Structures are given as C-alpha cells and as structure tokens.
Amino acid sequence: MDLNIKRALVIGSGVSGKGAAEALKTLGAEVVMTETMCEAENIRSYDLIVVSPGVPPSHPIFGQAEREKVPLTGDIGLGAALNAAPVIAVTGTNGKTTTVGMIGEIYAAAGIKATVCGNIGKSFAACAIAGGYERAVLEVSSFQLLHAAPLKPRIACLLNITPDHLDYHGDMRSYIAAKMHIADFQTESDYLIVPPSVSISGIKGTPVVLTEGRDFFADEWLNVFGKRVMPVSEILAKGAHNVKNALYAAAATYADGVSESAIEYALSRFRTGAHRICAVGEFNGTCFYNDSKGTNVAATLAAAECMTGNTALIAGGSDKSCDYGELFDKLPENVTAVYLTGANAEKMAAAATAAGGRFVKVCATLRECVSLCGRGGYDSVLFSPASASFDRYSGYAERGRAFEREIERLISGTD
C-alpha cells in the first residue's frame, strides 16, 4: 500500500473509522468522513478509501472504487501497512475476544509489550501509527478480513467455523472464504493454528492442527507442541469452550517463544470479559447469567453446557439467517424452558416447538422474560440470545446492560 496519501475517504465513524482517520491525519492526509456514500459522488479525488466493517458488500463504493481504480481497504489493512511488529491474529465464529485477551495476558506475564486491538474495540491503524509495542494481537472478524490486505500474521489462529453472519455473506461457503483470508499473505515461516474441521489445502503457512485427545482433555493437561503446560483444572476461565480458547492462546504464544511458566501463570489468572456467561444476580434461589455476547447458535450452546440444575434460556434478537433447529435439538436436557423476545422470536419459537421436550414462551419484552423466569423456580436462568442485538440495541454490550438492569429491578422488588 502506498502511504503517500494526500486525501482519503473514510466511510463509517465507529471505532475503526475514527482510528483510521486519526492514523491518516498523522500521515498528513486530508480526511473526509461520512456514514453514507451515494453512487453519484465522485471518488477520483481520493488517494485511498477506508471502509468500516459494517459496510455491506452491496454498497456502491466497492464497484466505484474498482471502476475508478482507487485503492480501498479497512482499518485492519491500513494498520497492517503501518505496523512494524510481529502480528498474532485470531479469527473464528466464537471465542475470539477471550482468546486474544488470554494471549495479551500471556505476553504481559512474559514481559513482552503487546497491543490488543482490532474487533475487540480498538483500532489497529491507530495503534500502529502510535507504535511502542513489541507484538500486535488482533481480533479479526469475517467482515474485517474482506479488506485486510496486506495483513501477514506471524501466527494466525482460526478457532472454529460454524454458521453465522449468513445475512451478510450470503452463504456458508462465502463466510468460510472470508475467514480463510487470514492466511492470504502467510509464508512457510508463519504458523496457522486450526482445528481438524478446517481444510488447510493450499495454505502457505505452516499448519498446526489442534485436536482433543492429543492437546487437551486426554490426561487433564493442556499440551502444546508435545509439552505439558498446565493442568486443565488450573485454567481460571471455566467451561470446555474456554479450555479450547486457552489451548489456542497457549499454542500461539509458545510458537512465539514464550515459556510454559508464563503461559501457566497467565491462564491461571485470566478472567473472561463482561457479558460472557457472567453471574449477575440471584432471586428466590435462581441465579441469573448474562451471556449477551452469545450472538449465534454455537455460542449459546457452549454457554448452555456450563449451566447446572434446572435451567431456563432467554433468547432472541435480530436474525442472521441461522438455522435455530440445531440450537433446540442440541440444548442440554437440563434446559427445560425457553423464553423468547425480539424480532426473530416467532421464528425461534417455531424451531423450539418442532424440537419438542421443553416449555416455550414468546414474550413482548426482555422485562417480561426476566419477570416470568424469576417466578419459575429455576436453578439457573441463562440470557444467551443466539442472535444479533440490532433489533433493539446498538450492540451486545448495551443489550447485556439492559438485561442486568432488569435483574436489578427484579431483586429490588420494583419489577
């Protein structure tokens, strides 16, 4: 990418857009920011166009940029062009945020200064222009990977791929292809760490395939490259899904030369972030858990596996063209009731009813769901929507805070 940029257009004013604009201004460029871009506007006066991850593939800017031969990238691509440190990049349908957090903690324990950025809520371009770090640890979504060139991770982790964002990508094949862009610029000296389910044909990086039975669970130890790193029981972040996240974090950092002791120290102290299977209150013996970050079927199933006792699930939101039949077919037997609200509630209810075996109730509001669950005599109530949040909220964090406020109302008696 030619960084001699005099004038740049940035579409989208979120975290990535603002970060890219900041970086471009530091380079001395005149920056124009906009939320929309109509097809009639002239883009020939720009040396570079930066699009935010949420800009859909149908947006006219992509065709315009191609026709007018104006370079187009995203925050990740701009950051990659500015970055001077080795990159550890993590993608996957679920577990990205937790895994990059673990990797950041491991580097801190090893005395290596790392910046953790990307989809986690921090612009890579802004971090790269500021510099001052020894490793760039990136969470990258499928949206971001569509415009990430020339990203070249020294170590790339592809955690898993299950149906998600099909409303954006169109089909599963396109979604998988987007995820595989993480390896586009790797060479044989780089590592690509994947599960057995991911095809590695045609990949230039050195593949590392992590499997159950060899790398974890077999002897209750976390094993990396044939080394026993730590007992699984000492990993603070509980749940089988978090053991897998820890394995990828350990493998990525061990491949980068970090000691087993630093990995063990960090993973025995790392806590998962907000809105990810967090206990937020108890009412009449029922414990309520906030998993607002569970935005797809696989994430909600992983959260449900962590629940104990008679459990109710609260789900629903904006639809991403997922098959909810799999969710209700695979829910653990102790999930005996499902309360649904949001734009796709009726669609989810139809799938839940077809699966059978549990009580199903569609509610007008989240408050109604919480109130009914509080009177239901359950041991646990899991709020894990298996859906996006944009029908009612700006994102999963706002949705999670809304859930927590409803629990506070219930406990205080103001419900």
Over the stretch 249-275, which tens digit does the pLDDT of each residue have? 999 999 999 999 999 999 999 988 777
**C-alpha span between 100 and 117 (Å, rounded):** 9
Q: What is the DSSP string of 364-397?
A: SSHHHHHHHHHTTT-SEEEE--SSBSTTTSSSHH
Q: Which residue has the tokens 């962590």?
A: 306
Model pLDDT for residues 118-175, shown as the tens digit of each residue: 988 899 999 999 999 999 999 999 889 989 999 999 999 998 887 666 666 668 788 8
Report pLDDT for 337. Answer: 97
Report pLDDT for 182. Answer: 93
Q: Which of helix, strand or coil describes residue 8?
A: strand
Going across the sheet that includes 380-383, the strands are 278-283, 286-290, 380-383, 311-315, 335-340, 359-362
Q: What is the mean pLDDT of the chain?
A: 90
Higher pLDDT pick, 3 / 409? 409
Q: Which of helix, strand or coil describes residue 283?
A: strand
SS3 assignment for 194-258:
ECCCCCCCCCCCEEEECCECCCECCCCEEEECCEEEEEHHHCCCCCHHHHHHHHHHHHHHHHCCC
Report pLDDT for 276. Answer: 79
Confidence at 40, pLDDT banded by 50, 70, 90: very low
Handedness of CA 59, 323, 196, 118 (dihedral sign): positive
pLDDT at 358 over 60: yes
